[in-house]
């Protein structure tokens, strides 16, 4: 069966359309359907990209977590615009999401941090993400030090938390034969409604 994508079939709200596609990716057993590429840029336009994990989404946008002193965080502080990309190969689907990024509340970061595995919590303390380190051994030593310090409870590090990307444009891409793919783009309008457009493949 060939999947198709038509203007008449999509939800008027792209967040709800994403919910449909994300649910289908999970139900189809797509490996690591929550994996997304986060693309950022410096103030002088130098691009940068890396893989992060989608942790939640709702009408406000898409949430991921990281170190607030990492390279990506520095770039987001200097240029608060970013793009997310999902690629679900078994379904021949992509979703591209452009928008503005802000930190989530401390309470949201706390709530999610407390659900993380114990080792991941310690890793957030031990790793000065994106910084040059002298050796793997020193990293593991820092981990062991925090393991001793936080034997019973690991609090959230002040330099670690979440971001939310509020979308201004979302494109749904459905692979088709002969490279005549379906591309439907939503663009946020000044009145907060969404304009739906078909793009050439």
- Torsion sign, CA atoms 111, 115, 116, 121: positive
Percent helix / strand / coil, the chain, rounded to 5: 30, 35, 35
Gap between the Cα atoms of 115 and 101, Å rounded = 23
Gap between the Cα atoms of 97 and 109, Å rounded = 22
Gap between the Cα atoms of 163 and 84, Å rounded = 12
Residue in this structure with the two tokens 């009408």, named with its chain if needed: 59
Q: Tell me which residues are annotated as active site.
A: 179
Nearest to 163 by CA among 59, 88, 53: 53
Nearest to 126 by CA among 153, 152, 165, 154: 154
Gap between the Cα atoms of 62 and 53, Å rounded = 10
Tokens read off for 46: 């130098």
Gap between the Cα atoms of 156 and 150, Å rounded = 11
């Amino acid at each position: 069966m060939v999947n198709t994508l038509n203007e008449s079939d999509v939800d008027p709200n792209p967040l709800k359309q994403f919910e449909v596609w994300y649910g289908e990716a999970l139900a189809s057993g797509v490996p690591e359907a929550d994996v997304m590429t986060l693309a950022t840029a410096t103030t002088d336009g130098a691009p940068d990209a890396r893989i992060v994990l989608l942790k939640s989404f709702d009408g406000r946008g898409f949430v991921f977590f990281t170190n607030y002193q990492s390279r990506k965080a520095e770039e987001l502080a200097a240029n608060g615009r970013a793009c997310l990309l999902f690629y679900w190969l078994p379904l021949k689907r992509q979703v591209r999401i452009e928008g503005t990024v802000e930190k989530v509340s401390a309470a949201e970061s706390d709530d999610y941090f407390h659900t993380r595995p114990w080792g991941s919590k310690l890793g957030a303390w031990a790793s000065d993400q994106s910084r040059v380190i002298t050796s793997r051994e020193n990293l593991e030593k820092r981990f062991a030090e925090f393991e001793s310090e936080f034997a019973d409870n690991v609090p959230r590090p002040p330099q670690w938390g979440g971001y939310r990307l509020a979308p201004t444009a979302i494109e749904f891409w459905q692979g088709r034969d002969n490279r005549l793919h379906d591309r439907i783009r939503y663009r946020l309008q000044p009145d907060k409604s969404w304009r739906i457009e078909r793009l050439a493949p």
